[in-house]
């Protein structure tokens, strides 16, 4: 994958292959969970069709997220996984595959992509529409949003940013922690101003904070400030 493809792709195939080989296990699992959360609101309707409990889906994603943060054990994750004998965390992220034959196209594309992002799976992404024809407008839009999700979480891997410890003022860290923990990112402009006041002149960081885009847990700026990826899982 080239830098231009990384920054402009509207289908996630190449990005998934690249990021699976070049990002941390934590980042991979969070990306998979974030993709599942994008279709959070559709799950009850889809589970109803197959007489499945939607709480199984929610709990599986939530336990992986807690595991990533060190707040859940491997046994807790395994208890909600598919039990295929593969990677236990990947099994839990992909639990949606075992709940029902999804009819909603957005859920289908979420399942395919999240399963491809999770670690220890094959690095070949099988487009969801291969067996069902080309994607519709909603599915194509969702894939474009998934590309934005990956860019929010990884940034530009061809030009990594070094975070100056001086940027981590009390105000900066308070805002970063609050947004990370609550998943409410409306204060990113406030973080931009706090970083400016702390002496940050790094354009990529400041622009990311001020762009009108959706952010996710695992956002590369918040992770960099909170030093998340250097903390062992």
pLDDT tier at 220, thresholds 50, 70, 90: very high
According to the model, what pLDDT value does residue 163 have? 97
Stretch among 3-17, 65-79, 134-148, 167-181 having the lowest mean pLDDT: 134-148
Give the number of other Cβ atoms within 10 Å of residue 75's Cβ: 8
pLDDT in tens, 37-64: 887 777 676 666 666 677 777 888 888 8
Strand positions, DSSP E, the chain: none
Mean pLDDT of the chain: 78
Greater confidence (39 vs 172) lies with 172
What gap in Å lies between CA 78 and CA 60, rounded to an integer?
9
Give the number of other Cβ atoms within 10 Å of residue 22's Cβ: 11
Contact 159, 179 (CB under 8 A): no
What gap in Å lies between CA 175 and CA 185, rounded to an integer?
9
According to the model, what pLDDT value does residue 48 have? 66
pLDDT tier at 102, thresholds 50, 70, 90: very low
The percentage of residues in the chain with a pLDDT greater than 90, rounded to a whole number, is 38
**Nearest CA among 39, 13, 40, 43 for reference residue 150:** 13
According to the model, what pLDDT value does residue 59 have? 83
Rounded alpha-carbon distances, angstroms, from residue 63 to 26, 92, 95, 184: 13, 8, 12, 20
- 157's tokens: 């891997």
């Amino acid at each position: 994958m080239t830098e231009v493809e990384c920054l402009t792709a509207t289908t996630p195939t190449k990005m998934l292959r690249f990021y699976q080989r070049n990002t941390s296990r934590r980042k991979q699992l969070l990306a998979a969970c974030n993709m599942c959360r994008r279709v959070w609101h559709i799950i009850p309707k889809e589970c109803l069709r197959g007489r499945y409990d939607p709480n199984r889906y929610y709990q599986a994603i939530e336990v992986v997220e807690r595991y990533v943060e060190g707040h859940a054990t491997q046994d807790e994750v395994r208890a909600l996984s598919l039990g295929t004998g593969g990677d236990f965390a990947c099994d839990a992220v992909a639990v949606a595959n075992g709940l029902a034959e999804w009819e909603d196209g957005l859920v289908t594309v979420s399942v395919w992509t999240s399963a491809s992002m999770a670690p220890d799976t094959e690095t070949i992404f099988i487009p969801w529409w291969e067996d069902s024809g080309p994607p519709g407008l909603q599915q194509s839009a969702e894939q474009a949003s998934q590309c934005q999700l990956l860019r929010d979480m990884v940034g530009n891997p061809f030009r990594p940013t070094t975070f100056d410890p001086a940027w981590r003022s009390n105000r900066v860290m308070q805002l970063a922690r609050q947004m990370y923990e609550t998943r409410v990112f409306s204060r990113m402009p406030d973080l931009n101003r706090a970083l400016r006041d702390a002496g940050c002149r790094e354009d990529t960081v400041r622009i990311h904070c001020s762009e009108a885009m959706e952010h996710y847990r695992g956002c590369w700026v918040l992770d960099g400030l909170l030093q998340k990826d250097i903390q062992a899982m």
